[in-house]
Chains A and B, each alone.
Chain A
Amino acid sequence: DQQVKQNSPSLSVQEGRISILNCDYTNSMFDYFLWYKKYPAEGPTFLISISSIKDKNEDGRFTVFLNKSAKHLSLHIVPSQPGDSAVYFCAASGGNNNDMRFGAGTRLTVKP
């Protein structure tokens, strides 16, 4: 029962360009969405979140967009930096469950 899907296992972009990571979900009861970043040998770290009452949230170089009708969210990183190279997980929670459901992750590589 994979309720959160990240269909792109990897993404490679040039330094300075935009990185767009996508995430789809199936549970319409989800009302809170988060992105986590994970470096090797470290636990995931919180990056940015958005609640279902919004369609955009911005924090510096990172912006998350939510399209509830399409059950789709995306993370934009502008400009991308080599230090952004990591695995990015999309997560969602809400409805009857307070646990967080994660996607399989997208490995972002930013080339200098």
Chain B
Amino acid sequence: DAGVTQSPTHLIKTRGQQVTLRCSPKSGHDTVSWYQQALGQGPQFIFQYYEEEERQRGNFPDRFSGHQYPNYSSELNVNALLLGDSALYLCASSPGGFSGANVLTFGAGSRLTVL
């Protein structure tokens, strides 16, 4: 049973460019959350998708947007990249809608470097 898969694993962009990261949740999970983990920091919540809608959002600017498809897979888009967007982007899935009591299953992440 495949867990959470993310692509690409690594990518390099330049300032001002746009990036799309992809995530397939664990089988049986319908909720996807995205986190940004900067070097030496813990994961920071970006947003959460359930039933193809953004249900909750962390303290991130509108340059960060997302989408969830009917098969529960999800994308994270970041526009007008800044150097400070360099980080590991983690996708996590969970079952049964958004609930703080749900255990998150994480992917290995997509490491974004902005030059």
Q: Are B45 and A101 in contact (CB under 8 A)?
A: yes
Q: Name A97's contact: one of B56, B101, B106, B109 (CB within 8 Å).
A: B56
- B40 beta carbon closer than 8 Å to chain A: yes
**Interface flag for B104 (CB, 8 Å):** yes
The majority secondary structure among interface residues of chain B is loop
The 8 Å CB contact of B42, one of A46, A93, A103, is A103
Could you count the A-B residue pairs with CB atoms below 8 Å apart for me: how many are there? Answer: 63
Set of chain A residues within 8 Å of B24, measured between Cβ atoms: none
Q: Is B84's beta carbon under 8 Å from chain A?
A: no
- Highest count of chain A CB atoms <10 Å: which of B4, B43, B106, B108: B43
Cβ contacts under 8 Å, A45 to chain B: 106
Query: Could you tell me which residues of chain A, from 63 to 80, have a CB within 8 Å of some CB in chain B?
Result: none
Interface members, chain B 25-62 (any A CB < 8 Å): 33, 35, 40-45, 48, 55-56, 58-59
A25 to B94, CA, bound (A): 23
Task: Report B55-88 CB contacts with A as 1/0, cut-off 8 Å.
Answer: 1101100000000000000000000000000000
**Does B2 touch A at the CB level, under 8 Å?**
no
- Quick one: which of A43, A49, A93, A102 has the most chain B CB within 10 A? A43
Distance (Å) between the CB of A21 and the closest chain B CB?
13
Answer whether residue A59 sits at the interface, using C-beta atoms and an 8 A cutoff: no
Q: A97-B56, A98-B100 are in contact. Are A41 and B108 (CB under 8 A)?
A: yes
- Give CA–CA (A53, B107) in the complex, Å: 30
Which B residues touch A41, using CB under 8 A?
A: 108
Which residue on A lies nearest to B6, using beta carbons?
A43
Q: Are B101 and A51 in touch, CB under 8 angstroms? A: yes
Interface residue from A98, A101, A105 paired with B99 (Cβ < 8 Å): A98
* Residues in chain B near residue A98, CB distance under 8 A: 48, 55-56, 98-100
- 9 A-B pairs within 8 Å (CB atoms) are namely A31-B100, A36-B106, A42-B108, A43-B4, A89-B43, A93-B100, A97-B100, A99-B48, A100-B104
Please list the residues of chain B having a beta carbon within 8 angstroms of any beta carbon in chain A.
Answer: 4, 33, 35, 40-45, 48, 55-56, 58-59, 90, 92, 98-101, 103-109
